[in-house]
Copies of this chain bind each other. A is one copy, B any other.
Amino acid sequence: MGKAVREVRENQVRIADAFWSPMQEKVIDVVIPFQEKVLNDEVPGVEKSHAIENFRIAAGLSQGEFYGMVFQDSDVAKWLEGVAYSLVIKPDSELETRADKIIEIIEKAQQADGYLDTYFIIKEPEHRWQNLHECHELYCAGHMMEAAAAFYSVTGKDKLLHVVERLADHIIGRFGPEDDKEQGIPGHQEVEIGLMKLYHVTGKEKYKDMARYFLEERGKNPNYFYEEKIKRGWQHWGQYSIDRLDVRYSQAHQTIYEQKEAVGHAVRALYMYTAMADLAGTDGDERLYRACRTLWDNIVNQKMYITGGIGGNPEGEAFAGNYELPNDMAYAETCASIAMVFFAHHMLEIEMDGAYADIIEKELYNSTISGMQLDGKRYFYVNPLESEPGVSGEIFGYRHALSERPGWYACACCPPNLIRLITSLGKYCWSESDSAVYSHLMIGQKAELEKADITIRTGYPWKGEAEYLVEPKTDEEFTIAIHIPYYVDPAGKETSLTVNGEQMELHRLMKNGYAYITRKWNTGDTVVIHFPMNVRKVYANQHVREDAGCVALMRGPVVYCFEGVDNGELLQSLRIPKELNAIAHTCEKGILKGNVLLRMEGIRMVSGMELYSENPPVKEKAALTAIPYYAWANRGESQMRVWMLEE
């Protein structure tokens, strides 16, 4: 085995899509400039960042103290990565110049031996590399490597790449299996991803080897962090209330091959799985792929919200037990869903299985973008599936699950993660092998692939239709394999796939979720897909205590929710009728304009004033409206539920 396909880079794709283009524009026009101002401490009223100033001070260009989280540097790195992708979508020479200048500062901040982390350079130079558990030096390094790889890949400029290569070499010089090196592992996984990306752009095996080292060293000594603590003999600040020596929290309790259940801090876990899957594919490592698949199956079959949200335990922003998926107490961090896209993408590169692409879709249309307000100005870390004003964000158990998006965070991980996901959307759309082009996502675009330029026109996710216009670059026969989402019946009467107007038997083309069309392609060939966009009632497994008796509504990849603003008070008193008769319609005005909403006749249970009564509640008809989950909490504070009781 090995990677079945080659990665398609973000700069091969221009998104031109009614759903995603405005989102990319918002990210580029609103979020990136806003975050730049935040990083430069130019936004009054939001938590001071100081992140760029930290680099200036470390570079000797400014005087002052370090300020911010110990991982403040990573905010700059994530911003730079997002900027790189944004330059593909919307070239902006001034922005690029400003990014270049920041990179110059970073370069100057780097120490002679390659070390780079402003917290330790400024504040505790004698303590570097002594607290891998809590101090995020390797985490920051990883993000800087990702930024450098992206910046180089898009602009061809290699200044930051050289910085991170020196940094990586410094790390390789310090950590490793050799007797004269330290056998260390990062407290927060991320450097493994960065090293793999560095390998992909430079081709230098040593970076991949180092990624493998960090991955395989993990869990060999479950007491590593404890021993590190004893060894350093000094206390670091206690930022977290949870037991930091709970090694399951950072997935260091077992080796990656022994871990069968996704546990601990969800983002750490998923960054690790992402690097594992990248390495498994890159090296054709069957054993490692099986390890990834075991963890994947556990997440997807036992630990994922219907929205794609990951992490049912707010304490430690962590996975909860199997099937423990509380809706109002959900953590479901935006970053975890984004990381699930990364993980899925690498799994897909190993095996063209539509199940991976389906999860990418689930994440993209639901619990990633729910993290951003529709105007791009406010963000959720936590994406609950039920929200109750007066409770959510306010009382014990629910404080983390806000009912409205706040402006910015001291720990600003999710917004920049959203930037880089949305600006790099193109690369999740395709893979290419020697014999085939694989389309994973129906997103309007023009893609410049090796074998063909392909233009997609689609009304997805609102309409079940897409047209692929093919301009081949080769005379040879090749395959275009198009992912057909899991909810489409390829043999269904309303489903069709035509090539140049000629009806194909779609179900005969299907293999593992993809329609394989192999032929000699001519310029102007079109593949047109149609499938019905029914509103689907979805039931959770009986093991899921919190969803018992409930249904959720989906249409295409979009999960719907009900808000008080549309449906009046007491959403818990509403019932979805057994015979659902939902009408989908496009919202024509207001902030939800362009979204397909669902209108249906439902039921409202009405009871008397008593707290408890033997009189059963009485049914009344109620006109109900559901909106796409990702768009919740954009019209003021009100109740919200995804899972609704069924009649």
Question: Chain A interface (Cβ within 8 Å of chain B)?
Answer: 300-302, 304, 306, 313-315, 320-321, 323-324, 326, 329, 388, 390-391, 395-397, 487, 536-545, 548-549, 552, 570, 572-573, 575, 605-617, 645
This chain's copy number in the assembly = 2
Closest to A542 in B: B573
| Structural contact, B542 and A572, CB atoms closer than 8 A | yes
| Structural contact, B301 and A614, CB atoms closer than 8 A | no
Closest to A647 in B: B549
* Least Cβ–Cβ distance between A408 and chain B, in angstroms: 25
Q: How far is the CA of A487 from the CA of B613 in the complex (A)?
A: 10
Contacts A304-B611, A390-B321: A397 and B314 contacting too (C-beta < 8 A)?
A: yes
Contacts A545-B388, A570-B543: A313 and B611 contacting too (C-beta < 8 A)?
A: no
* Least Cβ–Cβ distance between A88 and chain B, in angstroms: 35
Residues in B neighbouring A615, C-beta threshold 8 A: 539
Task: Return the contact of A611 from the options B301, B321, B390, B549 (Cβ within 8 A).
Answer: B301
| Structural contact, A605 and B396, CB atoms closer than 8 A | no
Task: Return the contact of A538 from the options B313, B315, B540, B613 (Cβ within 8 A).
Answer: B613
* Least Cβ–Cβ distance between A261 and chain B, in angstroms: 13
Contacts A396-B314, A397-B397, A572-B542: A645 and B548 contacting too (C-beta < 8 A)?
A: yes
Task: Return the contact of A542 from the options B314, B390, B605 (Cβ within 8 A).
Answer: B605
Q: How far is the CA of A615 from the CA of B536 in the complex (A)?
A: 10
Q: How far is the CA of A606 from the CA of B543 in the complex (A)?
A: 10
Contacts A549-B645, A573-B548, A609-B301: A614 and B397 contacting too (C-beta < 8 A)?
A: no
New contact pairs (6) apart from A301-B611, A542-B617, CB-CB < 8 Å: A304-B611, A396-B397, A539-B612, A539-B616, A540-B612, A541-B610
The 6 closest A-B CB pairs, nearest first, are A315-B396, A548-B572, A542-B573, A397-B397, A549-B645, A545-B572
| Structural contact, A606 and B542, CB atoms closer than 8 A | yes
Residues in B neighbouring A314, C-beta threshold 8 A: 396-397
Task: Return the contact of A614 from the options B388, B396, B536, B617 (Cβ within 8 A).
Answer: B536
Q: How far is the CA of A201 from the CA of B548 in the complex (A)?
A: 55
Q: How far is the CA of A390 from the CA of B321 in the complex (A)?
A: 8
| Structural contact, B538 and A612, CB atoms closer than 8 A | yes
* Least Cβ–Cβ distance between A332 and chain B, in angstroms: 14
* Least Cβ–Cβ distance between A362 and chain B, in angstroms: 10
| Structural contact, B395 and A320, CB atoms closer than 8 A | yes
Closest to A548 in B: B572
| Structural contact, A539 and B614, CB atoms closer than 8 A | yes
| Structural contact, A611 and B540, CB atoms closer than 8 A | yes
Residues in B neighbouring A605, C-beta threshold 8 A: 542, 548
Task: Return the contact of A306 from the options B315, B329, B541, B612 (Cβ within 8 A).
Answer: B612
* Least Cβ–Cβ distance between A479 and chain B, in angstroms: 30
Q: How far is the CA of A316 from the CA of B215 in the complex (A)?
A: 43
Residues in B neighbouring A306, C-beta threshold 8 A: 612
* Least Cβ–Cβ distance between A571 and chain B, in angstroms: 8
Residues in B neighbouring A541, C-beta threshold 8 A: 607-613
* Least Cβ–Cβ distance between A331 and chain B, in angstroms: 10
Task: Return the contact of A391 from the options B321, B544, B552, B573 (Cβ within 8 A).
Answer: B321
Residues in B neighbouring A487, C-beta threshold 8 A: 614
Q: How far is the CA of A611 from the CA of B545 in the complex (A)?
A: 12
* Least Cβ–Cβ distance between A492 and chain B, in angstroms: 13
Residues in B neighbouring A611, C-beta threshold 8 A: 300-302, 304, 323, 540-541, 544
Residues in B neighbouring A538, C-beta threshold 8 A: 612-614
| Structural contact, A313 and B396, CB atoms closer than 8 A | yes
Residues in B neighbouring A575, C-beta threshold 8 A: 549
| Structural contact, B613 and A539, CB atoms closer than 8 A | yes
Residues in B neighbouring A536, C-beta threshold 8 A: 614
| Structural contact, A315 and B609, CB atoms closer than 8 A | no
| Structural contact, A313 and B395, CB atoms closer than 8 A | yes
Q: How far is the CA of A306 from the CA of B633 in the complex (A)?
A: 33
* Least Cβ–Cβ distance between A610 and chain B, in angstroms: 6
Residues in B neighbouring A548, C-beta threshold 8 A: 572-573, 605, 645
| Structural contact, A324 and B612, CB atoms closer than 8 A | no
Q: How far is the CA of A323 from the CA of B538 in the complex (A)?
A: 29
Residues in B neighbouring A572, C-beta threshold 8 A: 542, 544-545, 548-549
Residues in B neighbouring A645, C-beta threshold 8 A: 548-549
Residues in B neighbouring A614, C-beta threshold 8 A: 487, 536-539
| Structural contact, A570 and B549, CB atoms closer than 8 A | no
Residues in B neighbouring A324, C-beta threshold 8 A: 390-391, 395
A and B contact pairs by CB, cutoff 8 A, 25 listed: A301-B611, A313-B395, A314-B397, A315-B397, A321-B390, A323-B611, A324-B390, A329-B397, A397-B397, A538-B613, A538-B614, A539-B613, A539-B616, A541-B607, A541-B608, A541-B609, A541-B610, A542-B570, A542-B605, A542-B607, A543-B570, A545-B572, A548-B573, A548-B645, A552-B612
Q: How far is the CA of A321 from the CA of B545 in the complex (A)?
A: 24
Residues in B neighbouring A617, C-beta threshold 8 A: 539, 542
Closest to A242 in B: B396
